[in-house]
């Protein structure tokens, strides 16, 4: 093993492995130190996203949604089925197969691009010295011209709900249930809580979601969050706002054990009894053991590694990307940061546009947005126009039985430049890419309105929302007519 590298990346998640592969493609001698182990304690690449987060949760979300469709929706389309049942262990096994295929693919990409994979723990010292400790081995010192820190994040914990490993679990444990709990509690009505709550609600759990905040999905457009709460409640999620958990206790014995959850709401102290409890209150940057005292890298007041707009830390030629730095904890944001840093090290000058980072919640219907919300613009005193188009007026949505949802497009009142697009509905995660591309090229609502979209498609809704923002919508009544 070489002891000197052009680039050493610490962390093999989306941000780290993208950085490592791109650096190697650009001709740099690159190593990636990655500490993650799979269920069998074998080294595995891909980070939380591929192993315990994005990918496995989507596998279960898709499987559970198909189960609901087979139960309730096929008959409406003239498809007769017998009694439908869910094989949860099979779903979990399939999820693991998907994960194994993708993580193995990253390993193959490392080999194909010449990245040296170093399973174990990495620690940054002064002058870009990196301590590498193989699993079960002793620390050895490596030297790098450039270091990219991408250690990722871990689920946040709260003192009133300590994890037990079986009944009270975090988002990782919630992906390993062998059967749907009869009664399930979820602390947190954010992205993770809603997605995991949806999975087990679809598979038969009576699901209660406790959220300490007063507003539901406050980061989303207010009309979208309002409709999301209504639709998810109709699906069976019992979402209780302003519910601050103050304590948990495991009661009973043997197979009769359950969790008693105490929380405060506007009516005082309440008690909820559930068979399983998921703690989904967000994630925290993972920096344990990452930095020696002389590393020269500083943390901000929230515990994130401090970086500038180019992801450079306070230490020379040391960068940090992904969940461990400011901004949303999104895999795709980290991927682009990793690639940007690798290219800047090689002398190129790319930038990440943080104004066009898409956000997605993979419930059904999906929720996705990019750019500013109406409430943000009002708070800033900006003048804008809003175009809205409902899925119920889209021919492809009606044909597919996906008529719930809407698309909202916000454009600057003077320049007509698109400032934000917000979607709740089928395939919102795919549709939002059109908005991202448009905004990246500084498109106006008029630009989108002049583009020809295939018919019938869900994407026509983006076209109609753009027309609506200018008072030119064809398939809805315009609230205001503009020339």
Options 455, 463, 472, 475, the catalytic residue: 455
- Structural element, H or E, at residue 421: strand 418-425
Write down how long the chain is: 483
Mean pLDDT of 295-309: 96
pLDDT over 50 (residue 149) = yes
**Is the CB of residue 180 less than 8 Å from the CB of residue 205?**
yes
> Which are the contacts of 100, defined by CB distance < 8 A and separation ≥ 6?
none
365 upstream amide cis, omega within 30 of 0: yes
Topology of the domain covering 356-469: Enolase-like; domain 1 (3.30.390)
456 upstream amide cis, omega within 30 of 0: yes
DSSP conformation class of 290: T
CATH number of 168-281: 3.50.50.60
Look over the chain and give the mean of its residue pLDDT values, rounded to a whole number: 96
Rounded Cα distance between 365 and 374, Å, is: 21
pLDDT over 60 (residue 483) = no
What is the tens place of the pLDDT at every residue in 151-189? 999 999 999 999 998 999 999 999 999 999 999 999 999
> Which are the contacts of 296, defined by CB distance < 8 A and separation ≥ 6?
126, 313, 314, 315, 316, 318
Confidence bin at 476 (pLDDT 50/70/90)? confident
pLDDT over 80 (residue 1) = no
Ordered by start, the domain boundaries in the chain are: 4-155+284-352, 168-281, 356-469
Mean pLDDT of 453-464: 97
pLDDT over 60 (residue 336) = yes
pLDDT over 90 (residue 201) = yes
**455 classed as catalytic:** yes
The pLDDT value given to residue 479: 73
Q: Is 356-469 in the same CATH topology as 4-155+284-352?
A: no
- How many CB atoms neighbour CB 64 within 10 A? 22
**Is the CB of residue 173 less than 8 Å from the CB of residue 53?**
no
Output the CA–CA distances (angstroms, integers) from residue 276 to 204, 205, 313, in the order listed.
13, 10, 41
What is the tens place of the pLDDT at every residue in 43-100? 999 999 999 999 999 999 999 999 999 998 998 899 998 899 999 999 999 999 999 9
DSSP conformation class of 190: S
pLDDT over 90 (residue 255) = no
What is the tens place of the pLDDT at every residue in 402-449? 999 999 999 999 999 999 999 999 999 999 999 999 999 999 999 999
Rounded Cα distance between 92 and 244, Å, is: 31
Three-state DSSP class for residue 409 = strand
Three-state DSSP class for residue 270 = strand
The pLDDT value given to residue 467: 96
Q: How far apart are the two ends of the chain, measured CA to CA in Å?
A: 69
- Strands of the 168-169 sheet, one edge to the other: 168-169, 276-279, 183-187, 206-210, 238-240
CATH number of 4-155+284-352: 3.50.50.60
**Which sign, positive or negative, has the C-alpha torsion 416, 422, 428, 433?**
positive
What is the tens place of the pLDDT at every residue in 361-412? 999 999 999 999 999 999 999 999 999 999 999 999 999 999 999 999 999 9
């Amino acid at each position: 093993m070489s002891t000197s590298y052009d680039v050493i990346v610490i962390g093999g998640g989306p941000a780290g492995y993208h950085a490592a592969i791109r650096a190697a493609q650009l001709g740099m001698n690159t190593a990636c130190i990655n500490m993650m182990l799979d269920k069998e304690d074998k080294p595995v690449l891909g980070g939380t996203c591929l192993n315990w987060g994005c990918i496995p949760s989507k596998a279960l979300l898709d499987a559970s949604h198909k189960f609901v469709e087979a139960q309730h929706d096929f008959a409406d389309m003239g498809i007769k089925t017998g009694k439908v049942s869910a094989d949860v262990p099979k779903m979990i096994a399939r999820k693991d197969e998907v994960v194994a295929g993708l993580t193995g693919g990253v390993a193959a990409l490392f080999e194909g691009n010449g990245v040296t994979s170093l399973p174990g723990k990495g620690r940054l010292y002064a002058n870009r010295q990196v301590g590498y400790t193989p699993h079960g081995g002793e620390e050895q010192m490596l030297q790098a011209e450039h270091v990219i820190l991408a250690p990722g994040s871990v689920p946040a914990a709260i003192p009133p709900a300590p994890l037990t490993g079986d009944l009270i679990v975090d988002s990782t444990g919630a992906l390993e249930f062998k059967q749907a709990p009869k009664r399930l509690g979820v602390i947190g009505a954010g992205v993770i809580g809603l997605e995991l709550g949806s999975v087990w609600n679809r598979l038969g759990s009576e699901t209660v979601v406790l959220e300490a905040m007063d507003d539901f999905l406050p980061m989303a457009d207010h009309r979208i969050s309002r409709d999301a709460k209504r639709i998810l409640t109709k699906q069976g999620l019992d979402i209780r706002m302003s519910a601050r958990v103050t304590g948990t206790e495991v009661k009973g014995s043997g197979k009769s054990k359950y969790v008693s959850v105490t929380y405060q709401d506007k009516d005082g102290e309440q008690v909820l009894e559930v068979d399983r409890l998921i703690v989904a209150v967000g994630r925290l940057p993972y920096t344990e053991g990452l930095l020696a005292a002389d590393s020269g890298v500083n943390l901000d007041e929230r515990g994130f590694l401090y970086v500038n707009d180019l992801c450079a830390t306070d230490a020379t030629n040391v960068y940090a990307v992904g969940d461990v730095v400011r901004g949303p904890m999104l895999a795709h944001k980290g991927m682009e940061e990793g690639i940007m840093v690798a290219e800047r090290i090689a002398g190129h000058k790319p930038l990440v546009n943080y104004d066009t980072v898409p956000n997605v919640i993979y419930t059904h219907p999906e929720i996705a947005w990019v750019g500013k919300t109406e409430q943000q613009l009002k708070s800033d005193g900006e003048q804008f126009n809003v175009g809205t188009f409902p899925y119920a007026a889209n021919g492809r949505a009606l044909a597919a039985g996906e008529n719930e949802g809407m698309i909202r497009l916000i454009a600057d009142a003077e320049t007509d430049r698109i400032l934000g697009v917000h979607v709740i509905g089928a395939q919102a995660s795919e549709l939002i890419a059109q908005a991202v591309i448009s905004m990246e090229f500084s498109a106006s609502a008029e630009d989108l309105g002049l583009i020809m979209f295939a018919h019938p498609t869900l994407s026509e809704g983006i076209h109609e929302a753009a027309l609506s923002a200018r008072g030119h919508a064809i398939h809805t009544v315009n609230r205001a007519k503009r020339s």
